[in-house]
Structure 1
Amino acid sequence: MRYPAEETAEKHQRILEHASILFRERGFYGVSVSEVMKATGLTHGAFYNHFESKDDLIAKTIGDASCKALALMKEAEQTPEAMHEYVQHYLSQGHRNEPGKGCLMTALASEVAREPSVQPAFTRHLKSVITSLMAPFAKSRKRNIRRDAIHKISSMVGAIVLARAVDDPAFAEEILKAVSQSLE
């Protein structure tokens, strides 16, 4: 039985969304295809109507999460103040505490490093993030805006990774605040 294109597209998007959350929470290999499909309310067999393999799902999940993250950054590109606000939100306890809904780089970079098949999608995402971080400063006379953007995203990602890794909430907050203040 063939489903209407809209319904198929909605199911495809639902699979991507649930897979993205699960992958960011538990890693690529901490989640099975069956678990992804169960989370979406679909059968395991339906998976292959949407994706060739789990590797295909992983790559498409990275691409989808990237598009959504970059759309959020678009607004921040308008002014240095908007970008500052974006950075402050990124370096928040809320972001730290929600890995499934947070930045794909903080949750999956170490796994992507071991997965050559998804590195191109991740690389495109990181390059786009750097471009977005540079955008508010493109017309300024500030030198080295690309280097500054690379430094900024590296600091932001590192801060979230470290704040999530420690078992001391006060220390986690200190890490986020220190990096936030250093990027002002």
Structure 2
Amino acid sequence: MPQHNIPSPAAVKVISGYILPERHVVNTDQDNVSESEDEEERQPEFLDMKEMDSISSGGQMFNFSVPASKEVDFMARGSTYRIDGRFPLRDPWWSITCTVRKGQRKFFVKGHPSYSLRTDLGSDGQSIVSLFLTACSAVPEFVTMFMAWLPKDRQVEPANVMDALQDFEKSKPEHKAIADHLNSIVNRSGWSTCTTFNTLDIFE
């Protein structure tokens, strides 16, 4: 009977964390691997029914809603992983849970990642909120004014930014128009109130 290569349980695990910026430098054991060593063979990616329907209707295999596989640096519980997978959302405010298989030099995503907003951001919260508001297409000057108003010890993150905007609006009459604009773009994005969802929800 033919034998199938089935990954051992130790080679497959579920991790939760977030994607690091591309400029992040990662020190891994890969530097010690001989350049003559064969590259980890990319595993074939199987399309789900929705993707196959798109292709049969003349769509491209990798379109706007189905991103190409890409290597990213992934931080999970203080450890950095080099992961190859399809991540439609890579912003630093997303907490990502995925199943990965260990290869020779990196990990490969199995299935579809799930997303939720990160919480307990600590000192990184304000800088991430600034990026979040900018990504929501807020007026840059309004973002700057709001961030300048925030007390340095104020714990803020995308999940509770609307509470901070309410306090900002009440602090001065001239802040109302700015707060209204920022509240509007956050509401329109739908991100600040989203719960955990799977990548398949994005494709639908």
Question: Which of the pair has more CA radius of gyration?
Answer: 2
Whether TM exceeds 0.5 here: the answer is no
Give the TM interval when normalised to the shorter protein: under 0.3
TM-score normalised by length of structure 1: 0.26
Q: Which has the higher contact order (CA 8 A, sep 6+)?
A: 1
TM-score normalised by length of structure 2: 0.24
